[in-house]
Structure formats: C-alpha cells, structure tokens
Structure 1
Amino acid sequence: MIAVIVALVLAGAMLLALLAGRISRGGGISEFLVGGRSFPAWLIYFLAVGEVYSIGAMIGFPSGVYAEGASSAVWFMGYILLAYALGYFLAPLVWRAGHRYDAMTIPELFGRHFGSRALEVVAALTMLVALIPWGQYQFIGLRTVLGAMDLRLTPVQCVAAAGVLGFLYVAVSGVRSPAFVSVLKDTLMVLGVAAVGIAAVMKAGGVERVTGAHAVPVDSVTIHGSRLTYTLTTIVFQAVVFYLAFGAAYIFPARSEAAVKSSTVWMPLYMLMFPFLVLASYWALHAKPDLKDPNTVFLTAAREVLPEWLVGLVAAGAALSGVLVLAVTALNVSGVVTRTLMRGARTDVQRRASTLVVAGFIVVAALLTLYAAALMLTVLNLTYMLLAQLVPAWIALLWSRRTSAAGAACGMAAGVAVAIVLYVRHTEFWGVNPGLVSMGINAAVLVVWTRVRPGAVREPVALPSDPSGPSDPAPLTPEKAAG
C-alpha cells in the first residue's frame, strides 16, 4: 500500500508539472531557468520553502539528532531562523542585482558586475563543485525513502528511479514545475511530520516518556566545549551563506523586489514542524537504539507508529521534497554551464543544452551516492563550505566600489582549495566551523589584493548613487555591464 500511495502522489505531482508546462510563456532559456522573471510572491514563497525544507528536513535532520544529539538540532534550526532574518534584507538585494544585469545565474552576475570573464568562470566552477554534493545529499535521502517502501529494489534501482523523476520534473517546464509542485509537497510534508511526532508521543505514553531523563541519554541533550563553539559558528556561517549562494535559484524568478520581501515574511511558520521531528528522533533513540543507518530513523519511526496508508503519505512527501530540490539544483547547474561555459551560443542551443546538462548532473550525483555515501548532514556541511566561497564576492558586489576582480577570483579559488583540504583531513580549529575559516582566507585575499591594486570604480548594488531614484532600474545588457 505504501508504494501505491507514493506512486499516486508522484503521478499527481507530474500532472501539476505538466500543467506548469502548459502555462509557460514559450520555451526560451529565460523561461526555462528563471520563469521569465514573472513569479508572484506566493509562488516564490513555495519555491523558496521547497528549497529550504528539502528532504534534509525530513530525513537528514532526524538522522543528525539520532547520531549526534542536540548539537545537530540546534545548529540546523538556528541557522534557518537566522537566515530568515537576514534574508528579509538580503534577498531583495540579490533580486535587484540579477535584474540590474539581466543575469540568470550567480557567475553570470559576477562577470557582468566586475567586468571579468575570469571571475565568472571561477565562480561557475566553484558552484559546479559545490552543487554536486548537494545533489548527492538529495539522492541519499531519496534512496532511503524508496528503500523503506519494501519494493525489493536494489540501491542502483532506487537511485535510478529518483534520477528519472528529477529529470522529468525539470524537462517539462524548467523552474515552473518545482514551484507548482512545491504546494503539494509542502502540504504533505508538514502534515506527515506532525503526524509522526504526535503518534510517537502517544505510543510512548506522553512527552515525558519521549524527552525525559530516563528516555534520552545526557549526551544527546547537552552541548559543551568545542561542540558548542562549532554549533554557534555554524549557525552564523550557514545563515549568511544561504541567501548569498543557494538563494539566487529561487529569488531571480520573482517579478519584483517587493514580491521577494513579502515572500520571506511567513517562512518562519514552517519551523513549527521541527519540534515534531525532534520528538520522532528521540522516540527512535529510545525504542530503536541500534539502527545501522541513522538516515532511516524518521521513516523507521513512521512505520512503527502510523497506519500503512499514512506512512505512504509521509514517504510521498519526503520523496517529493528530495525530487524537487534535486530538480532545482540540476536546473541551477544547467544554467551555470550554458550561460557561462557556453556563453555566446544561441539561446535555442542553450535551451537544448540545459536539458542535457540536467541529465548529466543527475547521473554524476547518482554515482556519488552509490559509491561515496555518507551521513546526510556531513554532505550538507561540504556543500556549504564550498558555496561559502561566493560570499566575499557577493559582499563586494553589494557594498564595495573598488573591489579588484582578480582579487575576488584568486580569493575564491584559494577558499575552495582550503575548504576541500579541511574537509578531507577533518581539520579542526578549536571547534570553529572550517567553512568559516576557508571563507575568511578567501576574504583576506580579496581585501589585501584590493588594497594593493584597487579595481575600477563600480556602483554597488545596495548603495545606488541616487537614493531617490527607482528601486528597480532597467536591466543592463552585458555590453553596458562590461563597460
């Protein structure tokens, strides 16, 4: 029954995707990547929430709580809450930058603002390296969901099925499909998470029996020493990175700055589901203490406390979460490749190439999932460490007038190299998040280079020369931006 319900929900989601394809205004590259910059506030809201509350919220978050205790819960919830506060101010500026330079991707935006092809390419390569583990992150969760449905599928078949679904959602209408399907996904996800948390408490006989001292080991509810330092620095680090790295994929499609800002106001309401995820995780910690794979903890709890038909809805919500974020990520990668590495190609060629790049990205991420699987939150950390290297250039674009493009490119490359070394060697700095260290080195290179050899004077996006002027200036062409 679980498999049947999941199949029906996924089929319904595909119908929504096809509907989104029918209302698309043509098949150009702008429509495919950024929806023609026409999304209203409510659609940006669901697209953004679909990106934030991915399969990591339903599968990765409980696995972190189960395997690592309270620190995972605190930094995961803390960085999202702080990101919302920052996003209210940063997200409209991100949209303004994309609109001013008529850019569809972050590398394209950097290249036009700084007038540097080298920086554009370095930023593109940085994003490609960073988004591959993010795709892997979704696949790990999808494999967990499909493997829990008793379909007797091998890991290869699970990953292949997830990849096909992700490709189809993008291929039919680009970014519009994930946006429309997110409405269905969010409904299933919130109701499913609440159902599991409430049922776990009822099965245990009350909240005290789930969260009391006798039920949860002390190590799972306390943070101290270097772990506390790591938690606090990770909250700040990932909150800043979120809107200045992940954000553009769902901010650029908005129709205006006002639509972006209003879409961020209600997003914190989704945080209400996290207490239910914690309850489900702590129930499993007491009732199922010997799980071999922590990534399965949430679905294991669901199968123990819910009727089979409701487990099917929970699994469907989790599967849709992973598929949609995988689709948006693949779309983001295709935009980086076609708009930067294939710059100069005709728009119809870029549109066709985008679909091929989506397929190629999904295949690479799937292979990594099969042969280099890891705890989901570990993969999430790697993604953030790499995407963080975009932040110094973003800050310069928004607020600096004389930043050196060469310094930004070299700082970014140095930051990526340091991030990879620190991740592979598991280097620690008294508990400080290593991503913050690598981003600091990036920023230092940028600042020193700019002080020694300042770049040309450019108008910062957040500091217009005429404050009384319109907030939404006419987009600049690539030729005007370079000049």
Structure 2
Amino acid sequence: MMIGIVVIVMAGSILLAFWAGRAVRGGGISDFLVGGRSFPAWLIYFLAVGEVYSIGTMIGFPSGIYANGASYGIWFLGYILLAYSIGYFLAPLVWRAAKRHDAMTVPDVFGRHYDSRRLELITCVTMLIALVPWGQYQFIGLQVVLSNLGLRLTPVQCVILAGIIAFLWIAASGIRSPAFVSILKDTFMLLGVVLVGLAAVLAAGGTSEVTGPDVISHAQTTMGGQALVFAMTTILFQSVVFYLGFGGAYVFPARSERAVKSSTVWMPMYMLIYPFLVFASYYGLKHHPGLDDPNTVFMVTAKGLLPEWMLGLVAAGAALSGVLVLAATALSIGGMVSRNLVPNVAPAAQRRWTVAVVAGFLVMAAVLTLTASTLMLTVLNLVYNLLAQVVPGWLAVLFARRVRAAAVATGMVVGVISAVALYASGVTKIGGINAGLVSLGLNLLIVFGWSLLSPGTRRAAVAQQGARAESAPVAVAGN
C-alpha cells in the first residue's frame, strides 16, 4: 500500500508539471528559467517555501534536536524567522536588480552590473561549487528517508527514479514545474509532519509527556557560553545567506516587487510545522535512545507510530520534497552553465543547453550518490559557507556606488578559500563564532575596504533606482 500511494502521488506530480507548461511550451529561455517574470505573489510563496523546506527539514531538524538539544532548535528557528524579516526588505531589491539587468541568474546580475566577464565567471564557479553538493544531498536524503520508512526500493532504483522524475519536471516547463508541484509537495509534507507529531503526542499521553520538564533533561533545554554565541552568530549568518545566497531562484520569477514583498509576509506561517517536528524529536529521544544515526529519528518514530497507509503519505511528502529541490537546483545549475560558464551560446540554443546540462548533472549526482555519498555529505556542510561569498557582491550591487568589480571578485575568491580551509582543518567556530561568519567577514573587509581606499567608477545602486526598475532594463556604465 505504501509504495502504491507514493507511485500515485509522483505520477500526479508529473502530470501537474506538464499541465503547468501547457501555455508556454516551446517558449524562450526567459520562460524556462524565470517564468517570463510573471509569477504572482501566491505562486512565489509556494515556490519559495517549496525550495526552503526540503527533505533536509524532515531529516535535519529532528536529528539536530535529538543529537544536540535546544541549542540546535533555537538557531534553526531563529535564523528562519530573522531571514523572513530581512527578506521583506531585501528580496524586492534582488528582484529589482534582476529586472534592471534583464538577468536570469545571479552571475548575470553581477557581470552586467559591473560590466565584468571575469566577475561573472567567478560568481558562476562559486555558486556551482556550492550547489552541486546541495542538489546531490537530495538524492542522499531520499535514500535515507525512504529506506528507513520501509519503502521497498533499492538505492539504485530510488536514485534512478528520482533523477527521471526531476528531469521530466524540468523538461516539461522549466521553473513552472517546481512552482506548481510545490503546492502538491507542501500538502503532503505538512500532512506527513503533522501526522507523526500528533501520533507522538497521543502515544505519549499529552504534550507534557513529550516536552514537559519531567521527561526532558535540563541539558536538552538550556544552553550558554560558546553554544549560545554559536547559536546567535549562526542565526545572523544564515539569515543573510537565506535570501542573498539562495534567494535568486525563487525571487527572479516574480511579476513585480510588490509580489515578492507580499509573498514574504505569509512565509512565517509555514513554521507552524516545527512544533510537530519537535514532538517527534523528543518522542524519539525518549523511546528510541542511542540510535546509531540521528538522521533516522523522524523515520524511526513514524514507523513505530503510524499504520502503513499513513506512512505512505509521509513517504510521498518526503519524496516530493527531495525531488523538488533536486529539480530546482538542477535547473539553476543548467541556467548558469548555459548562460554564464559556456561563452557565446545563442539565446535560441540556451534552453536546449540548459536541458542537456540538467540531464548531465542528474546523471553525475546519481553516480556520485551511489559511489561516494559519504564524501559528498561531508562537503554539504560547506554549502552555506560558500553561498555566503556572494553576499558582499549583492550588498555592493544593491547599496554601494563606488565598489570595484576587482574588489568583489577578490573578496569572493578569498572568502571561498578561507571557508574551504577552515572546514578542511575541522574548524566550525572560532571563540564560539560560526566559522562561516568569519570567512564572510574577510570577504566584506576586502570588498568595502578596497573600495574605500580606491573607489571605482560611480554606478547607480539598485536600491536608489526606485520602482522604475520594474518597467524596463536600464543600461549601466562599465568599470
């Protein structure tokens, strides 16, 4: 029964993807990558939360609480809440920058704003290094979730089917597929999480028996010292990267700045799923102590509490979550390769190139998952730290007038090298401060310190252009 439910839901998602592309089939690269910049606020909302709340939410949040207690939950919830507040002000400006430069990728924005092919390439390579393991993690997450829920699929079958479905979504309608499928995904993900959380509360005999002071140790609910410093600096660091690192993929397709801003107002509502994840986490901590792999706590709890048909709903939500982010990531990578990495690809051929790159990435990620997944999982921890290195460039584009392209490029390279070096040496925090914030700080110092000492050509900052950026792309002076 479980596999039947998953098959029906995934088949429905493919039909929905083809339905979403019915009106724009055969359209140009703008329709394919950014939906012709036509998405209303409600669709931007579903696209954003669809990509943000991925299979990692079902795995990472409960496992973090299971292994580390309150400190993990505090910074996880804190950074998302702060990110929404920051995004209310910054996300519309990100859209404005893309509209102003007729950009479909972040490297498009940077390269055109500074009239610098070198900066475009450096930005493209930085984001590719970060996004490749992020996309591949979805394959790994699918294996972990579905195998522990008891779905009778081998790792090879799981990876192949996920890759085929992701490719069909993207080939059908580009960015429209993740946008519309995210509505289906959110329905099943919310249902699955709520079912497991409620089952945990009912099985325990009430919320006080799951999260009350009599059943949770003091160490699981308090933190101080370096743990508190790490939580606070992580909240600050990841909240900024949330929109300025990941945000382009779900901001660029909006029809206007107003649509972007309106979508951010309702995003905190999605956080209502977290109490149910907390219930599942602490129930698992009490009833399934000493798990060899904390990543399995949500699935182990679900298997112990739900009948098979309900597990099918949970598995469907998990499968849709993983494939959705995988597809969106593959599309972002395909767009950057066809538009920014490979020179002189004609606009008419960019859609074909993007589809080909999507297929190549999915095959490569599938092979790596089956042969070197452990290695790739260790690289995953670098994703946020690497994506953070485009943040100073975004701040310069949005707010600064006299920043040099060379300063942005140099800061990005130094930030990437320092992030990799800190991780390779096993340093995750310095004096309690998140190491990602340290590498980002070096990048910021170079970008704005250099520009203070040697200002570049005067350019109009995007934030100072006003709403007229919504009407037409504006040409900018070169460096």
TM-score, normalization: structure 2? 0.95
Contact 1:295–1:375, Cα closer than 8 Å, also in 2: no
Contact 1:140–1:376, Cα closer than 8 Å, also in 2: no
Provide the rounded CA distance (Å) in 1 between the counterparts of 2:187 and 2:214.
35
Correspondence 1:203-242 to 2 at 5 A:
203-242=203-242
CA shift digits 1:302-333 (9 cap, x unpaired): 11111211111111011101111111111111
Partner of 1:420, secondary structure, is helix
Provide the rounded CA distance (Å) in 2 between the counterparts of 1:470 and 1:383.
35
CA shift, 1:217, in A, is 3.6
The number of residue pairs the alignment matches comes to 478
Moved more, 324-333 or 155-164: 155-164
Provide the rounded CA distance (Å) in 1 between the counterparts of 2:60 and 2:363.
22
* CA distance 1:60–1:373, shift in 2 (3 Å): farther
The answer for the alignment partner of 1:78 in structure 2 is 78
Does 1:424 find its partner at 2:408? no
CA shift, 1:482, in A, is 4.5
Contact 2:459–2:477, Cα closer than 8 Å, also in 1: no
The answer for the alignment partner of 1:158 in structure 2 is 158
Provide the rounded CA distance (Å) in 1 between the counterparts of 2:363 and 2:386.
21
The answer for the alignment partner of 1:384 in structure 2 is 384
Contact 2:139–2:159, Cα closer than 8 Å, also in 1: yes
Contact 2:196–2:276, Cα closer than 8 Å, also in 1: yes
Provide the rounded CA distance (Å) in 2 between the counterparts of 1:262 and 1:60.
29
Does 1:472 find its partner at 2:440? no
The answer for the alignment partner of 2:317 in structure 1 is 317
CA shift, 1:188, in A, is 1.2
CA shift, 1:372, in A, is 4.6
Moved more, 246-255 or 419-428: 419-428
Provide the rounded CA distance (Å) in 2 between the counterparts of 1:42 and 1:376.
35
CA shift, 1:4, in A, is 1.0
CA shift, 1:417, in A, is 0.6
Which residue identity lines up with residue 41 of structure 2 in the other structure? Answer: A
Provide the rounded CA distance (Å) in 2 between the counterparts of 1:47 and 1:111.
26
Partner of 2:463, secondary structure, is coil
The answer for the alignment partner of 1:441 in structure 2 is 442
Provide the rounded CA distance (Å) in 2 between the counterparts of 1:48 and 1:214.
39
Which residue identity lines up with residue 122 of structure 2 in the other structure? Answer: V
Provide the rounded CA distance (Å) in 2 between the counterparts of 1:292 and 1:177.
37
* CA distance 1:380–1:332, shift in 2 (3 Å): same
Provide the rounded CA distance (Å) in 2 between the counterparts of 1:11 and 1:413.
43
Moved more, 230-239 or 131-140: 131-140
The answer for the alignment partner of 1:176 in structure 2 is 176
Provide the rounded CA distance (Å) in 1 between the counterparts of 2:370 and 2:66.
23
CA shift, 1:237, in A, is 0.5
CA shift, 1:214, in A, is 4.4
CA shift, 1:151, in A, is 4.3
CA shift, 1:149, in A, is 4.5
Provide the rounded CA distance (Å) in 2 between the counterparts of 1:381 and 1:326.
17
The answer for the alignment partner of 1:453 in structure 2 is 454
* CA distance 1:312–1:375, shift in 2 (3 Å): farther
Partner of 1:325, secondary structure, is helix
CA shift digits 1:169-217 (9 cap, x unpaired): 1121110001011111111111221111111011111222212344334
Provide the rounded CA distance (Å) in 2 between the counterparts of 1:418 and 1:74.
27
Contact 1:50–1:324, Cα closer than 8 Å, also in 2: yes
Provide the rounded CA distance (Å) in 2 between the counterparts of 1:282 and 1:266.
28
Provide the rounded CA distance (Å) in 1 between the counterparts of 2:238 and 2:290.
31
Contact 1:64–1:377, Cα closer than 8 Å, also in 2: no
Provide the rounded CA distance (Å) in 2 between the counterparts of 1:367 and 1:376.
11
* CA distance 1:159–1:67, shift in 2 (3 Å): farther
Provide the rounded CA distance (Å) in 2 between the counterparts of 1:107 and 1:55.
27
Moved more, 181-190 or 376-385: 376-385
Contact 1:137–1:379, Cα closer than 8 Å, also in 2: no
Q: CA RMSD in A?
A: 2.0
The answer for the alignment partner of 1:276 in structure 2 is 276
Contact 2:149–2:302, Cα closer than 8 Å, also in 1: no
CA shift, 1:379, in A, is 5.8
Which residue identity lines up with residue 455 of structure 1 in the other structure? Answer: G
Which residue identity lines up with residue 190 of structure 2 in the other structure? Answer: V
% same residue: 61
Provide the rounded CA distance (Å) in 2 between the counterparts of 1:274 and 1:368.
32
Which residue identity lines up with residue 219 of structure 1 in the other structure? Answer: A
CA shift, 1:375, in A, is 11
Provide the rounded CA distance (Å) in 1 between the counterparts of 2:249 and 2:12.
24
CA shift, 1:53, in A, is 1.0
The answer for the alignment partner of 1:345 in structure 2 is 345
Contiguous gaps of at least 5 residues in structure 1: none
Which residue identity lines up with residue 179 of structure 1 in the other structure? Answer: A
Provide the rounded CA distance (Å) in 2 between the counterparts of 1:415 and 1:363.
30
Contact 1:56–1:376, Cα closer than 8 Å, also in 2: no
The answer for the alignment partner of 1:245 in structure 2 is 245
CA shift, 1:150, in A, is 3.3
Which residue identity lines up with residue 453 of structure 2 in the other structure? Answer: V
CA shift, 1:164, in A, is 2.1
Does 1:15 find its partner at 2:15? yes
